[in-house]
Chain A
Amino acid sequence: MAVTISTTPRRPITRRAAVAAVAALAAIATGCGQQQIRVYDVPKEAPSAAGARPTAATTDERATTAPLHWTLPAGWEEKPAGGMRVGSFTATGKSGRTADVSIIPLGGMPEDELANVNRWRGQIGLEPIHPDQLGAQTEPIKIGPLDGHLFDLTSREPKIDDKYRARILGAMLTRGDTTWFFKMTGDDATVAEAKPAFVQFLKSVQFSQAPEVKVAANADRPMSTNTREVPGATGDQPAWNVPADWQEQPPAAMLVASYLVTASNGGAARITISSFPGDVGGVLANVNRWRNQLGLPPVAAADLPAATRSVQVEGGQATLVDLTGTEAKSGRPARLVAVMVPRDANTWFYKLLGDESAVAQAVPGFLKFVQTVRYPHG
């Protein structure tokens, strides 16, 4: 018996329509994802009170690339910045002698204030100072809207033309992952005459608009307005328990906290805590920096595991370094115990440095302190 299968009647579809449809699909699909160079005109950007990005009409690379701006004091002459300098000036005194002023940023690793002060002291023939003497040498100063420290150092002997004592005014400020050095060098009288202008110059410094929010790699997305709770001001600070024998010191510009511990024999050691974005050059770079501070030769990457050890801290592992040597600046034997704790997008540095006996007494309490620090955002 024959079975008739009825089929749905088909309307003829033109070949042209079919080919056109396939061609259109192919054209659209192959055109997807292709981006073109756009050319358009826009009005000139006017600077606003909130600090819109200024346009530059000169080839002066400092004006267009400078992360900071300043007001040049009367009588100062700006010179072309070169090398490590982002700003270079000459201040001329009434005697006709000049003082040199420089602005140098250094990034990638934290800068120890004491080490830099002793470096400047060494430049003018002064002996290095100890950590407990640093406070007496420090003068608070405003660098733009931020707080910094100013050091005023004068040589005891004539250093310039064998007639004039040398004087250095040095100011340091750490902002983000960069430490800024503002320094005036010249003979005692000229620097003394120019000091008020130098202080005003520092106050006039303005850094680029909110770089911390924009420039950090993997910058955080802004907080959504759908959050249930607004983060408080203390949301980024860890919590720790300070041992009773640690004396809190005023932290330097780049430090989170600073403590002093004194041994029973009178020796002293200093504990500093700092935090910087990223890996700050990595473990090897920081280990060799600390080794350099104690006059020790650098180690190669292959020797790093033998030069460090791992310690358990809250939320993971950290790297510990224990070095004994001679502090390059003071010439005294010293011991350094440091712990690097990577946490979220930052690296926390805990450093114990000082007299060997003081450090030996403080190490157990120091390690317990580091291992019990409680970080936010678990």
Chain B
Amino acid sequence: MVERIISFFTSLRLTVVCLCLAVLLVFIGTLAQVDEGLYQAQNRFFRSLLIYWSPAGSSWKIPVFPGGYLIGGVLLLNLIAAHLRRFKFSRKKIGILVVHSGLILLLLGQFMTDLFSTESGMRLTEGESKNYSESSLHNELAVINTSHPDHDRVVAIPESLLARPGEIQTAALPFVLRVKRYFPNSQVGLRAPMLATEPPPATVGAGTRLEVKPLPKVTDMDHRDLPSAVVEVLAGPKSLGTWLVSDWLDDPQSFTYDRQTYQLALRPVRYYQPFSLQLLKFSHDVYKGTEIPKDFSSRLRLRRPDTGEDREVLIYMNNPLRYAGETFYQASFDPKDPRVTILQVVHNPSWLTPYVSCGLVGAGLLIQFLTHLIGFAKQQTGRLKAAGRPGDARVPGRPAAKPVALAAAGASAVSSSIKRSRT
């Protein structure tokens, strides 16, 4: 049985099938972006094992096509397995080994990038200092214990857990959170008592004066979802209130339990750093007499308490700040406030792998080509010698014959390999 599995995973047919499925997947996924938006289509088609289809009006999820993770994973396994099974080391195959290593590294590297890299944004107004960046895609319900004088303890609950109805229980919190309603995208506003027909969504906090309406998730890149949720805090059988939490609310909402003070905030996922950046000056220059942007730059002060580092840095177009494993790009600005800069923060521990793998593949191909070329040239030279052609092999003073022979041998080698590929 295991032998059959191994034969399956080492077969060339599997490689061809996976490549064909990958081409189809890219085609279908690209078309789906039109209706579903970039990020939703990416998650559904490429960051998944299987693609599901639900019949209209049904909650069934029927898998209909392999997803990107499955195709990529099987391809990787196929490549490694075939290599382990069939490959016999020889000097002539060094090039192929290097090429395959590059391909494996590329697949693995992109997989690691997908798992471990993060992209976030840091919005700063002149004078403001921040030690965190925020995700533009993912949100979290932060339950913050602010009782300690020196620090806050944050329990960050990912949005994916809010999307499941039920209770959230964690050892980090002395109470339970019951998610009553969750809106991936919503519109929140102050209640107009004359028009409101339902009671407020919350029993305490800001939600007693607000109303929330669900909206469809955005599909274009120019907007982002505004999630909200109605959450009840339960301490055993006792309810500490039902709260409306939303990205719409600027400030967190507070309550006390067991002589500890907690805050609730539904906010973009935060990535904290051991250093802070303070925006000293944001410059937005335009070409004189026009409104065409010339330059965007942010002058910041970087402070790191644990090392005592305190220096100015300048970030501008094509000149990011690379520091502590993060890369800060000058990404955007706020057209309504000229004092605001928006930096894109990228954390990608496997950023080198595409460069290394392309280098390996290129080097491997070059090695393999040269190996064949030199071998073929030697072979041709040997044949000429054996055929006994004194004019070419023994007469001195005719050094031009060697380069000509090599060039002829190279051309012959190329035409031979083309013929072999066609048979």
Contact = CB atoms under 8 A, between A and B. Distances in A.
A132 B130 CA distance: 52
B205 A224 contact: no
Contacts of A38: 154-156
Nearest to A58: B254
Nearest to B189: A107
A133 interface: no
Nearest to A232: B291
Nearest to A45: B152
B73 A25 contact: yes
B86 A11 contact: yes
Interface stretch (B215-223, B360-368, B386-394): B215-223
B172 A39 contact: yes
A351 B76 CA distance: 65
Contacts of B170: 37, 39
A33 B221 contact: no
Contact of A107 (B125, B190, B218, B250): B190
Given A40-B272, A61-B253, A86-B209, A10 B86 contact: yes
A228 to B, nearest CB: 6
Interface in B124-169: 124-132, 136, 146, 149-158, 160-161, 168
B356 interface: no
B251 to A, nearest CB: 5
A310 interface: no
A108 B131 contact: no
B156 A37 contact: yes
B376 interface: no
B327 interface: no
Interface stretch (B16-24, B255-263, B408-416): B255-263
Interface stretch (A161-169, A185-193, A212-220, A241-249): A212-220
Nearest to A84: B193
A49 B128 contact: yes
Given A219-B226, A230-B335, A39 B153 contact: yes
B363 to A, nearest CB: 25
B191 interface: yes
B47 A33 contact: yes
Given A11-B84, A37-B157, A225 B296 contact: yes
A57 B9 CA distance: 60
B58 to A, nearest CB: 23
Contacts of A8: 86
Contact of B291 (A32, A42, A49, A230): A230
Contacts of B136: 221
A53 B161 CA distance: 25
A52 B2 CA distance: 60
Interface stretch (B180-188, B347-355, B397-405): B180-188
A221 B223 contact: yes
Given A43-B131, A44-B152, A107-B189, A229 B333 contact: no
B87 interface: yes
A208 B186 CA distance: 20
Contact of A65 (B215, B226, B251, B284): B251
Interface in B66-88: 69-70, 73, 76-77, 80-81, 84-88
Contacts of B263: 55-56, 64
Nearest to A64: B254
Contacts of A66: 251
A130 to B, nearest CB: 24
A41 B153 contact: yes
Contacts of A13: 6, 10, 81, 84-85
Interface string B308-342: 00000000010000000000001111111101001
Contacts of A106: 190, 192
Interface string A195-231: 0000000000000111111111111111111011111
A1 interface: no
A105 B192 CA distance: 9
A56 B261 CA distance: 9
Nearest to B158: A35
Contacts of B161: 35, 37
B391 to A, nearest CB: 40
Contacts of B188: 215, 217
Interface in A46-81: 46, 48-61, 64-67
A225 B127 contact: no
A363 to B, nearest CB: 28
Contacts of A40: 153-154, 156, 272
Contact of A222 (B128, B172, B342): B342
Chain A binding surface SS class: loop
A108 to B, nearest CB: 4
A292 to B, nearest CB: 9
Interface stretch (A15-23, A116-124, A314-322): A15-23
A278 B187 contact: yes
Nearest to B124: A50
Given A35-B161, A227-B293, A220 B192 contact: no
Contacts of B160: 35
B193 A42 contact: no
Nearest to B1: A15
A19 B2 contact: yes
Contact of A48 (B128, B154, B225): B128
A43 B151 contact: yes
A212 B250 CA distance: 11
Contact of A17 (B84, B87, B206): B84
Contacts of A221: 136, 221-224, 332
Nearest to A11: B85
B329 to A, nearest CB: 9
Given A51-B125, A108-B189, A218 B9 contact: no
Contacts of A217: 185-188, 215, 226, 248
Nearest to A107: B190
A211 B334 contact: no
Contacts of B292: 228-230
B62 interface: no
A54 B251 contact: yes
A220 B253 CA distance: 25
B291 A41 contact: no
B192 A107 contact: yes
B332 A223 contact: yes
Interface in B261-293: 261, 263, 272, 279, 284, 286, 291-293
A105 B190 contact: yes
A307 interface: no
Given A22-B5, A225-B332, A281-B195, A36 B251 contact: no
Nearest to A223: B335
B272 A18 contact: no
Interface in B213-243: 215, 218, 221-226
A225 B154 CA distance: 34
5 contacts: A57-B146, A178-B189, A218-B215, A218-B218, A281-B195
Given A32-B69, A42-B152, 16 more contacts: A11-B88, A22-B77, A25-B73, A25-B77, A29-B69, A39-B153, A50-B125, A58-B261, A59-B256, A61-B206, A109-B192, A214-B247, A215-B248, A220-B222, A225-B293, A231-B335
Closest 5 A/B residue pairs (Cβ): A107-B190, A50-B128, A50-B125, A35-B158, A65-B206
